[in-house]
Amino acid sequence: MISTNDFQTGLTIELDGEVYTVLEFQHVKPGKGAAFVRSRLRNVRSGSTTEKTFRAGEKISKAIIERKEMEYLYSSGDEYIFMDTESYEQFSLYKEQLGDNLKYLKENLHITLLLFKEEVIGIELPHSVELEVVETDPGYKGDTAAGGSKPAKLETGHVVQVPFFINEGDILRIDTRSGAYLERK
């Protein structure tokens, strides 16, 4: 159990059988009445966000999330195969469980599997991944100085806005949190 007075960004809690991550919180002490904690929470399973208000000092169950280092091996239809890097045991996850993370999933990528009470609730990607550009308009000499961008399709099928000087075959570093282009390798 944890007190709402001890909330921190990134803390995982259990409410009504669901696991939530604290995104934001604010302690409010009005001039009249009891203090309370206003918070914004993200459901770890569904990814949806919600706002919830708690009484100050209210006790809430802390969710213990187990993290396992995994390596993505390959996909077979809607099934994606991962291997535990310590025990070499293989797990399979489905397209629905991975959601938007599929845009960055590349063979041999090391990820963190998130488990709550032995149930897989999601994966955590590294902050950035390196992906190859497979389709984009050709870059032209002199396009490096002016701002602007063009779409580029990456090897995973994800489309990202890139500067004009990027060409097919270039390896790009992509931020997995925002989906934005960071740099050319």
pTM: 0.70
Mean per-residue pLDDT, 55-80:
90
User: Residue type at 180?
Assistant: A
Distance CA 136, CA 172 (A): 13
Q: What is the pLDDT of residue 116?
A: 86
Is the pLDDT confidence value at 138 over 90?
no
Residue 133 has a CB neighbour count (10 Å cut-off) of 20
Kindly state the tokens that stand for 119: 């149930």
Spatial neighbors of 48 by CB under 8 A, at least 6 apart, are 42
* Inter-residue contact 98 to 127 (CB < 8 Å): no
Alpha helices in 37-176 (DSSP H): 95-98
Please return the burial class of 160, using the count of CB atoms within 10 Å of its CB with bins 0-12, 13-18 and 19+.
Answer: buried
Phi, psi angle pair for 104, to nearest 5°: -120, 0
Domain ranges of the chain: 2-62, 66-124, 128-184
Is the pLDDT confidence value at 22 over 70?
yes
Question: Is the CATH number 2.40.50.140 carried by domain 128-184?
Answer: yes
Q: What is the pLDDT of residue 111?
A: 93
CATH code assigned to 66-124: 2.40.50.140
Whether 2-62 shares its CATH topology with 66-124 is answered no
CA angle (67, 93, 44) in 5-degree steps: 50
Q: Quick one: CATH architecture of 2-62?
A: Roll (2.30)
Tell me the CB-side half-sphere exposure of residue 5, using CA atoms within 13 A: 6
pLDDT digits (tens, 9 = 90+) for 34-43: 999 999 998 8
Kindly state the tokens that stand for 73: 């091996």
Strand pairing category for 110-116 and 128-136: unpaired
Residue 123 has a CB neighbour count (10 Å cut-off) of 20
